[in-house]
Structures are given as C-alpha cells and as structure tokens.
C-alpha cells in the first residue's frame, strides 16, 4: 500500500481590481451573462464567459426547466456552444460567477461535478490547460491554472475513442 497526496496550486484575490486586465474583463462579462439566466425555480443565476484563442468571448448562463434534470449549467451551455460553433477552437480561460436575490454570496461558487467533467474533456481534447476563474461578485476570486487541478481523477477511457 502506498499513501499518495494530491496538491493543487491556485491564486486567491481579494477583489476584481487585483486581477490582470484580461481576467477582470472576463469576470465582468461573466457578470453580464447572468442576465441570460433562466432560473425561475432556484432563483440562483450563474454566468460564465469563455475566451478562445481567437480572442472571441462566448457567454453562457444556467437554463432551468420545470423537469429539473432537463436544465443545464452555465459552463456547459457555453462549452457546448463552442463545441457546436467553433469545434477546433482552443479555450484559453473561463470565468464563472453566481448571484441570487435570496442571500448574499460571500465566497466564489465553484462548478459542479458534471461541469468539471465536461471542462476536463475540452481540456483533454485540446491538449492545453484551461485557466478557470471563480468570481464572487464584490468579493474573493479564485484562479486555477487548469481543469486538471480541479478534477484530477476525471473519467478517461482511451479505448472509447473512435479511430478513423
């Protein structure tokens, strides 16, 4: 038996004014994406902004449905839009934020496991890391250098890949 440890490195910022200009812009755009949220049931809005290598930024917001499992998180809305419209795009970074009228969010909201797995697939497909910024409106910000940092045991099975 071996005892192994995993460690991740991440950056912590007190607020958006501490970020580099590109990262601050991405955070502000994730905040704008909140306006597209359809969340009449949870009242919990999530927005994401993703920068691809061309410099273009794609927004996504959570989309709920009365049949709860039929909804989709903001991260996957934006990522699947990229997969459909820019299949060869390289994703450089993404910012995620959340807001609700029910209470004040005091810490950055992180992605769910399903979103992390999809994010890991995009990172694996492009063979390049995706920086992820978790942006708490008017508060703390966390930045990780790659999705692998967040989901080191993502599901991978190379034999499932179709060979041409």
The verdict on residue 101 lying in a domain is yes
The verdict on residue 159 lying in a domain is no
Catalytic annotation, pick one of 18, 21, 64, 75:
75
- Return the CATH number at 46: 3.40.140.10
CB atoms within 10 A of CB 26: 25
The verdict on residue 14 lying in a domain is no
Domain range for 36 is 21-151
pLDDT at 68: 86
Active site residue 75: yes
Read off the pTM: 0.94
By C-alpha distance, which of 34, 14, 9 is closest to 95?
Answer: 34
Dist CA 162 CA 105 (whole Å): 43
The verdict on residue 4 lying in a domain is no
pLDDT at 163: 65
HEC letters along 25-68: HHHHHHHHHHHHCECCCCCEEEEEEEEECCCCEEEEECECCCCH
Which two three-digit tokens encode residue 86?
A: 């820019």
The verdict on residue 110 lying in a domain is yes
Task: Note whether 141 and 106 are within 8 A (CB).
Answer: no
pLDDT at 157: 80
pLDDT at 77: 98
The three-state secondary structure class of 130 is coil
Sign of the CA dihedral running 117, 123, 129, 135: negative
Q: For the chain, 164 residues long, give each residue's pLDDT as a single digit of tens.
A: 999 999 999 999 999 999 999 999 999 999 999 999 999 999 999 999 999 999 999 999 999 999 988 999 999 999 999 999 999 999 999 999 999 999 999 999 999 999 999 999 999 999 999 999 999 999 999 999 999 999 999 888 877 776 66
Task: Note whether 64 and 38 are within 8 A (CB).
Answer: yes
The verdict on residue 143 lying in a domain is yes
pLDDT at 113: 96
The three-state secondary structure class of 89 is coil
Dist CA 105 CA 87 (whole Å): 34
Overall domain count for the chain: 1
The verdict on residue 164 lying in a domain is no
Dist CA 154 CA 108 (whole Å): 22
The verdict on residue 43 lying in a domain is yes
């Amino acid at each position: 038996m071996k005892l192994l440890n995993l460690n991740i490195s991440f950056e912590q910022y007190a607020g958006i004014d501490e970020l580099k200009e590109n990262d601050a812009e991405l955070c502000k755009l994730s905040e704008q994406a909140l306006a597209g949220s359809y969340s009449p049931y949870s009242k919990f809005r999530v927005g994401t902004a993703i920068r691809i290598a061309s410099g273009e930024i794609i927004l996504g917001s959570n989309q709920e449905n009365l049949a709860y499992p039929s909804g989709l998180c903001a991260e996957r809305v934006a990522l699947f839009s990229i997969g459909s419209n820019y299949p060869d795009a390289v994703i450089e970074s993404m910012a995620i934020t959340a807001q609700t009228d029910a209470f004040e969010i005091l810490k950055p909201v992180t992605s769910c496991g399903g979103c992390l797995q999809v994010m890991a697939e995009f990172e694996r497909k492009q063979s390049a890391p995706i920086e992820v910024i978790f942006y708490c409106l008017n508060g703390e910000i966390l930045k990780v250098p790659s999705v692998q940092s967040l989901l080191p045991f993502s599901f991978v099975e190379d034999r499932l890949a179709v060979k041409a």
